[in-house]
């Protein structure tokens, strides 16, 4: 069983500001927000990163994205827009080994990302 910080949040062993939960995912505010809205959507299934997801996980991966879009509507940033990000590995700056989708919005985003 994974013992990283997000595994502990999913198991409710440590607190987080939860904004959405269902049987497959948990979404909570990033502790070091990089935008006015910065929410992490995490599968309850223990998948370390996107490269370790398999074909059987495709419905779950789709659910992560549609949940993120729903939270964006809930947070009032659908009209202005938002960015969904998955960091994988060192070059992307992955820092927690539990798959998560970042939902970022509430300000103008730059492109390309840094």
Residues engaged in binding ligand AMP (CB under 6 A): 5, 16, 30-32, 40, 87, 93-96
Query: Which of the 8 DSSP states describes residue 30?
Result: -
Residue 46, helix vs strand vs coil? coil
User: Tokens at residue 53, please?
Assistant: 């997801």
For ligand AMP, give the closer residue by CB, 45 or 88. Answer: 88
Smallest gap from Cβ 53 to ligand AMP, in A, equals 15
100 a catalytic residue: yes
User: Tokens at residue 20, please?
Assistant: 């959405």
Smallest gap from Cβ 34 to ligand AMP, in A, equals 7
Smallest gap from Cβ 76 to ligand AMP, in A, equals 21
Distance of CA 50 to the CA centre of its chain: 12
Q: What span, in angstroms and rounded, lies between the C-alpha atoms of 46 and 10?
A: 10
Catalytically annotated residue among 63, 91, 100, 102: 100
Catalytic residues: 100
């Amino acid at each position: 069983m994974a013992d990283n910080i997000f595994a502990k949040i999913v198991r409710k062993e440590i607190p987080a500001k939860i904004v959405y939960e269902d049987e497959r995912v948990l979404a909570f505010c990033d502790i070091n927000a990089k935008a006015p809205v910065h929410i992490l959507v995490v599968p309850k299934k223990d998948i370390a990163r996107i490269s370790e997801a398999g074909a059987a996980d495709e419905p779950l991966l789709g659910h992560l994205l549609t949940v993120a879009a729903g939270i964006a509507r809930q947070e009032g940033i659908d009209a202005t827009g938002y960015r969904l990000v998955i960091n994988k590995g060192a070059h992307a700056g992955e820092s927690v080994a539990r798959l998560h989708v970042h939902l970022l919005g509430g300000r103008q985003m730059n492109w390309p990302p840094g």
